[in-house]
Amino acid sequence: MSHTDIADSLPPVLRDQPIERVIRDGVEYVVLGTAHVSRTSVEAVNALLAHEPFDAVAVELCDSRAQGMRDPEAFKQMDLFQVIRQGKVGMVAASLVLSSFQKRLAEQYGIQPGAEMKAGMDGADQRGLPVWLVDREVGITLRRAYSSVGFWQRLGLVGGLVASIFERQDIAETEIEKLKQGDMLESAFSEFAAQSAPLYRSLIAERDAYMAARLREQATQSGYGEGRRVLVVIGAGHLKGLCEQLRTQQGNPVIEAATLAAAPPKARWPKWVAIGLVLAVFAAIGFAFHRNTSLGAAALRDWVLYTGGFSLLGAIIAGAHPLSALAAFVAGPIKPFRPGIPSGGISAMTEAWIRRPSVADFDTLRDDVGQWRGWWRNRVARTLLNFALVSFGTIIGEYTAGIHILKSLFQP
């Protein structure tokens, strides 16, 4: 049956949907492009499952996102101490920001973002079909995107992410439905790539390749071959790239997926710059003591006051408990002697210990992070904010103290 004949035989709800059919290694992949906030997309998934037989359903979700979708209350089990110790505050905060933005869209349209993915999983469960989670972990994607661009683009990325949750302008549902038109998507992504090719590669192109590799890997592991059919539910923005990868990808899918799922190596130069600054400051303090005891004592005092003071200021802005603020003041000056443990971590753990988040804080977390005041009102959000602002304050204090101490050595 030709593609035209297949299209003519589809139910009305599917005839205008972006659907591609790719046969690879004997397996037919029926790829449905969806809009992540769209009733029509949910209807399309259900209609396609009812209209055609499939052996498996693949969805554009990673394990953590699928778990969150199947069990929306799972985030309430979050261990704040573990999040802080493992250095995952940034990833958790970014996930909360994205979740808040999605919740705003859900409130506007009365449908949860990703409802078509859940419809795919639920439909597979009802039919006893395996569910393949083929997207890359969102944390890895964010880290690779963040590390792929320079300092100013990182600020823009973070700023745009934060601004998205406070934007209150409604988005027309007709505009969301237009995202399914291939020509519009291609032009939009071409413009995006022109503005930031590394971001496009991390957020779109790499995931296209990763999902294609995961589909091939899952098919091989399941022993699928000639005659097997898999429904693939993905965002329309990945439709063209994923299908192209499925047709042309030649490498070992296991190796390909593992390579694309690797966390980016951390840049070493910021660490060495920070170490160099601290060594220079301590050398300056030592030289000041060598020249004059009172000059050395003044330099040491400046180090404590600037690093501790700015750390304290960060805690105060975050609305920290007085003991958490004191912990920030103490932790700031001794940061160089405990590498790997940011002063914000010590202050935030103190905050979480003194003001233990209640069940109500977790219940309202997603609502609260969508408002400026909510970050200070909610104990979970405030702990994350405390970590960020104290850490940032310590960095400012180190550079300010260094400049002030070095200048004082050359004053008459």
CB 391 within 8 A of CB 344: yes
Higher pLDDT, 242 or 79: 242
Give the contacts of 34 (CB within 8 A, at least 6 positions apart).
Answer: 41, 44, 45, 116, 180, 233, 234, 235, 236
351-366 per-position pLDDT tens digit: 988 988 876 777 777 6
Write out 359-410 in H/E/C secondary structure.
Answer: HHHHHCHHHHCCCCCHHHHCHHHHHHHHHHHHHHHHHHHHHHHHHHHHHHHC
Enter the pTM of the model: 0.70
Mean pLDDT of 123-127: 95
164-185 per-position pLDDT tens digit: 555 555 555 555 555 444 444 3
Q: In angstroms, rounded to a whole number, what is the distance separating the alpha carbons of residues 15 and 389?
A: 52
Sorted by where each begins, the domain ranges of the chain are 3-260, 269-409
- Which pLDDT belongs to residue 324? 94
- Which pLDDT belongs to residue 81? 67
- Which pLDDT belongs to residue 172? 57
- Which pLDDT belongs to residue 209? 96
- Which pLDDT belongs to residue 191? 44
Average predicted confidence (pLDDT) for the chain: 80
Q: What are the Cα distances from residue 233, in Å, to 238, 370, 396?
A: 10, 29, 46
- Which pLDDT belongs to residue 198? 78
- Which pLDDT belongs to residue 253? 94
CB 306 within 8 A of CB 393: no
Whose tokens are 């400049």? That residue is 403
Higher pLDDT, 69 or 242: 242
Which range is least confidently modeled, 10-24, 146-160, 308-322, 359-373? Answer: 146-160
pLDDT grade for 102, boundaries at 50, 70 and 90 = low
- Which pLDDT belongs to residue 235? 87
268 has a pLDDT exceeding 80: no
